[in-house]
Structure 1
């Protein structure tokens, strides 16, 4: 057993709640832009004083609509300015926010609203409202629905005109640090989603220590962050609250189809994303270079960036020759890549899945350092992250200051700290199992090095045991295979089987370009090309790269290219892009069987 901790850098208030942050900002930084919102396609600043006034108006409307202290209010919307505004308005009315992914099915909506006992739901669109109405008959606690695109904020402000400032101030001070701030339902890779109760104290401990440890990334009046992750996900919530706590300017993007344009117009200094975002940036840049006849130059530049970054971790640092090559490629390639990311940023924070050493070194080598972290819904997002000044690529960093990470005898990662959830809503049995002996049992397998840097190697429940008795952690090889531009998703199989196999889906964005370059028919799809010798050979290269990261017994011997994608709608992946392995295994049982009978 091994454990590591760092002293807290932020003192959690003995009392109070998250609404204290917006009142403090309006008092201490009244004219500082704390939000950016799109108005007629143009980013417009919202000052701390203006944000507080709009939150108060919406909160009065919620009180007039019947929200009482402790009531659960659901928020079903894409990431947008109104999401943040209404989140703070719910807290200001004394309520508890229950986020719902905007992609949720009526059945999922019914479960979350019913289990939480939500009395009110704020939806984004008419389609969302229709989905709620379709199950409203099974939700006896639900008293009202307000629609953002039907001017819900203005309607709430109008509804609350008769609510006094004194009553609102009383409500804003009603919750204490140990009261629930939100109930975030887990993505549910197995079984029903469980509602994680996160208190105001948990957010103070989490965001306060993140902001303090990454202080150069959260400079008030200078720094900004563009949130394009789902605000319903706990990682998105970390971005929201940490930005308000600092405070720095926060912008929200509901649709990532035009993310490059949004980055160019907002020009954030900090980006937070999942590994797939950074993989896409790399793969898109490489594909564009190849299309322009500059593929060899890009590959040499990438090799230089990775070598330069690796050299930064050595006592002697980069050689003179490497520095010179790096300087040349900075003008030719690296500066253009930084421009794609907005042009002002030097840092990003990545979580949700392993980034991989290759990408970590590549981005640091181009002058855009991606700090990898690790966390769960139950840990209020990040429970470990790489510090800006002592990054160790290949790890998820050191524990959140003020918390403890322990590695149990069986390798499981255990957590302790004020940022840990208090309980699962309406689920005492699951709470007792997860919070045994005062430690949160994550279900992840990991190691701690001598400096307290954590590395995650797999999930306890996802460990495959082959017929030969070999334990295989799927994440290691899957992440390497998925790094290939043509691979959208990869799921390793082989539990109880004679060898390890894999199911692979093809990235549609890159397939068209690849098909054109290789003389395949126009309009080719994964379904029409899955047995094509050239495509199979290309995927085999991705498999070979993945196999290089593991032992022979753990390597993929055979694979199947699937004719379709893993989708959230089909239940194959969660909104946070985690594989629901049991669903995939069931839906593609014939494909798995073909691996072992072919």
Structure 2
């Protein structure tokens, strides 16, 4: 086992990279145009400047948190959008000051749920985005407003705390949260020093440059309050890479072209739902296709890329790579890349200990399509793997972490993802949603109104509810009544899990939703396929 002094973290990576790549840009920040959907300019931030800002942030937060009686080692909540440079500086600064950041994004809008999670993590303070000052009333711990970059200058002469070193590999460095709600709120995902060390190692493998003589330039994937962007940024920093913050995460193909031509983007990192839009346009746009072909790597994560789009990209020489991960484990598997059928197959990252446990055919999800003689395996993170999540998230039966993700072994050590064995789906932002919880709540609150229901929404901004009514009530009146009865339940959930408007409820005739032949259960994937055009229109998606 490594000693604690040898454990790597986001902070040790920054220290090393700021020394090795001092003058290189670590960020390029979009300054949005008033005239169109791209950036007017891109402001570079050097490694030296970022390191200096993080140390200023550490001085600032050590002073202000100490004044509130919050001692180093305490958990401090941060409720931020996670999309700005200042958010990264606040998070890294609070960590550099010796505190443990507990990260909330704005996708969790309910302060009651946030406060409950603060209390579960034994947090001693919360830092909120300025726009949340009025929303975050009566918190259970001292509340502070997130610092702007200009605010930090006031602390230039304040004390810089000693560089934090964990006393034990079990010491927490972060607290994240599952991206979906269970029993009314997300679960805590405590991240130990050993776990973060494994993230540094794995993210470095995922970000190895094709040409070590050239600086890699990557794209910002999502909120740094979630694990995906946090991981990819650590990986990029290790190799002296630069991360572009676009005008929006769902940036246009025009802005993608600008990032390639004006900023030198050579590694595109995107969630599959957003990447799909660009690939569809590239079919009819030779210039965009050519730009894709010039990239060293097109890495996607979250959801599977539609097979026809992935095959199109691979057939055109685009180096598409799938990085398979989760909040609890971060990156786990990576695809081969290149060309041919094996380009899509996944292998575990180095230095991990995973099991692929065979599952009984009766537990296979109806969303999984494999031949009758194909054995499916569940990916299990073994208890002695350095990236195995906190014990609170592991199975009480065998001590391992069961992901619920199913795979088919194509060749020894190479796998193809085949869905899940539960009722969770992933939204447009690749965040999870427990469809069964929504359905169960509807049955409990509207049993006199609804005969059957199903929640769908894979790859959509939020879920949609299909119902077969039990009553002769007018459809619009029925929808309004369902929203009224379920409002309290949805108010506690992430934005991507909520159904709060009648426009996301579809009423169909009884016994018309597609069902399984044996048990008569409604088939979620079949509903999504049959009503695809309606769902596209509902969410205004191409």
- Whether these two folds match at TM > 0.5 is yes
Please state whether the residue corresponding to 1:20 is helix, strand or coil: helix
Aligned length: 441
Q: CA deviation at 1:93?
A: 0.7
Please state whether the residue corresponding to 1:455 is helix, strand or coil: strand
Instruction: Describe the superposition over 1:365-389 as per-residue Cα deviations: whole angstroms up to 9, x where unpaired.
Output: 333322112222111x111111445
Please state whether the residue corresponding to 1:442 is helix, strand or coil: strand
CA distance in 1, matches of 2:505, 2:127: 37
Task: Show structure 2 runs of 5+ residues with no match.
Answer: 33-39, 360-376, 441-451, 466-477, 516-542
Q: Who is 1:130 aligned against?
A: 134
Matching of residue 275 in structure 1 with residue 272 in structure 2: yes
Q: CA deviation at 1:177?
A: 4.8
Q: TM-score, normalised by structure 2?
A: 0.69
Taking the TM superposition and a 5 Å limit, the aligned residue runs for 1:302-341 are 333-339=285-291
Matching of residue 96 in structure 1 with residue 116 in structure 2: no
Instruction: Describe the superposition over 1:538-559 as per-residue Cα deviations: whole angstroms up to 9, x where unpaired.
Output: xxxxxxxxxxxxxxxxxxxxxx
Kept in 1: contact 2:303–2:459 (CA 8 A): no
Matching of residue 158 in structure 1 with residue 165 in structure 2: no
Give the root-mean-square deviation of aligned CA atoms.
4.5
Instruction: Describe the superposition over 1:207-260 as per-residue Cα deviations: whole angstroms up to 9, x where unpaired.
Output: 323423552358475211111322222112111211222220012246335443
Q: Who is 1:37 aligned against?
A: 29
Instruction: Describe the superposition over 1:390-438 as per-residue Cα deviations: whole angstroms up to 9, x where unpaired.
Output: 88558551001111331223232211321222244xxxxx5453xx534
**Counterpart selection for 1:398 from 337, 343, 347:** 347
Q: Who is 1:294 aligned against?
A: none
Compared with structure 1, are the counterparts of its residues 232 and 392 closer, same or farther at alpha carbon in structure 2 (3 Å cutoff)? farther
Kept in 2: contact 1:73–1:97 (CA 8 A): yes
CA distance in 1, matches of 2:236, 2:204: 8
Compared with structure 1, are the counterparts of its residues 146 and 357 closer, same or farther at alpha carbon in structure 2 (3 Å cutoff)? same
Instruction: Describe the superposition over 1:117-168 as per-residue Cα deviations: whole angstroms up to 9, x where unpaired.
Output: 3333333342x22222x342xx1xx2232135xxx333244146321x4xx2
**Counterpart selection for 1:595 from 502, 512, 534:** 512
Taking the TM superposition and a 5 Å limit, the aligned residue runs for 1:162-561 are 162-163=158-159, 165=160, 168=161, 170-173=162-165, 177-191=169-183, 192-212=185-205, 214-217=207-210, 219=212, 221-253=214-246, 255-256=248-249, 258-267=251-260, 268-284=265-281, 298=284, 333-339=285-291, 345-379=295-329, 381-388=330-337, 395=344, 397-410=346-359, 411-416=377-382, 417-424=385-392, 430-433=393-396, 436-462=397-423
CA distance in 2, matches of 1:353, 1:574: 21
CA distance in 1, matches of 2:203, 2:412: 19
Q: Who is 1:119 aligned against?
A: 124
Kept in 2: contact 1:32–1:221 (CA 8 A): no
Q: Who is 1:68 aligned against?
A: 71
Q: Which has the higher contact order (CA 8 A, sep 6+)?
A: 1
Q: CA deviation at 1:34?
A: 1.6
Kept in 1: contact 2:317–2:339 (CA 8 A): no
Please state whether the residue corresponding to 1:420 is helix, strand or coil: coil
Q: Who is 1:318 aligned against?
A: none
Q: TM-score, normalised by structure 1?
A: 0.63
CA distance in 1, matches of 2:479, 2:217: 41
Compared with structure 1, are the counterparts of its residues 461 and 85 closer, same or farther at alpha carbon in structure 2 (3 Å cutoff)? same
Q: CA deviation at 1:115?
A: 2.3
Q: Greater helix percent: which structure?
A: 1
Q: Who is 1:532 aligned against?
A: none
Kept in 2: contact 1:227–1:251 (CA 8 A): yes
Q: CA deviation at 1:55?
A: 0.5
Task: Show structure 1 runs of 5+ residues with no match.
Answer: 1-9, 287-297, 299-332, 425-429, 463-473, 483-488, 510-525, 528-561
Matching of residue 109 in structure 1 with residue 114 in structure 2: yes
Please state whether the residue corresponding to 1:445 is helix, strand or coil: strand
Kept in 1: contact 2:80–2:105 (CA 8 A): yes
Q: CA deviation at 1:173?
A: 3.5
